[in-house]
Amino acid sequence: GSMSLGVTTMPLLLKTDAGQVLMPFTDKPFNPGAGGLLAALMMGIVVAYLERAIDKVIPSMLKTFLTPLLTLIIGAFLSVLIIQPAGAALTQGIYTVLNFVYEQLGIFGGYILAAGFLPIVSVGLHQALTPIHVLLNNPEGPTQGINYLLPILMMAGGGQVGAGLALYLKTKN
């Protein structure tokens, strides 16, 4: 996934010239940073299925050469035309939901965010929030660089430390 999507996030390709690069077939402007981690994760899944499907139809004599080549070529087109915009839309959707919870639900929203964070951390899915933090830390983004989400989520860890300390002090063993 990262190899197929790596081209879209390379810093050297961010600014080719002053004009926008239009994507083929869609004529929409190309946004190199869109999608980020979520698009790379989705692309990894797509490339795994794509490689299996291609491997089934390629003759065994040509598998070593053609399977990776076709997987990369087809995967690159899929990543730029479908997966990257889908990842960008998913990141924006997650941001919209988190922003709604924060702005509309007040202190109850903070509780929901903090309580939901620890189960996400326990299975490692908190890394999927990285694109959201990047969006919030961007000085030109919707929050002008103010990341309100991170302090709320950090309070969940503080509560867990307090609960662990209370258990340690109150139990005999």
91, 92, 97, 100 alpha-carbon torsion, rounded to 10°: 140
The answer on 81 and 17 residing in a single domain is yes
Query: Is the distance from CB of 17 to CB of 89 less than 8 angstroms?
Result: no
Residues 97 and 137 in one domain: no
- Average pLDDT of the chain? 78
Residues 84 and 11 in one domain: yes
Radius of gyration of the chain (CA): 21
Question: How wide is the angle at C-alpha 134 spanned by C-alphas 48 and 154, nearest 5°?
Answer: 100
Percent residues over pLDDT 70 in the chain: 81
Per residue in 14-26, pLDDT tens? 555 556 777 777 7
Phi and psi at residue 62, to the nearest 5°: -105, 0
The answer on 91 and 18 residing in a single domain is yes
Q: Are residues 141 and 93 in the same domain?
A: no
pTM higher than 0.75 for the full model?
Answer: no
Same domain, 75 and 50: yes
d(CA 35, CA 5): 9
**Tally of domains within the chain:** 2
* Domain membership of residue 54 as a residue range: 1-104
Both 125 and 166 in one domain: the answer is yes
How far is residue 108's CA from residue 116's CA, in Å, rounded to a whole number? 12
pLDDT tens digits, 53-88: 999 999 889 888 999 999 999 998 888 888 888 888
Q: Is 126 exposed, middle or buried (0-12, 13-18, 19+ CB in 10 A)?
A: middle
* pLDDT tens string 79-100: 888 888 888 888 788 778 878 8
User: Per DSSP, which regions of the chain are E strands?
Assistant: none
- Among the candidates 78, 104, 130, a domain finishes at 104
Residue 18 is predicted with a pLDDT of 58
**How confident is residue 102, by pLDDT bands cut at 50, 70 and 90?**
confident
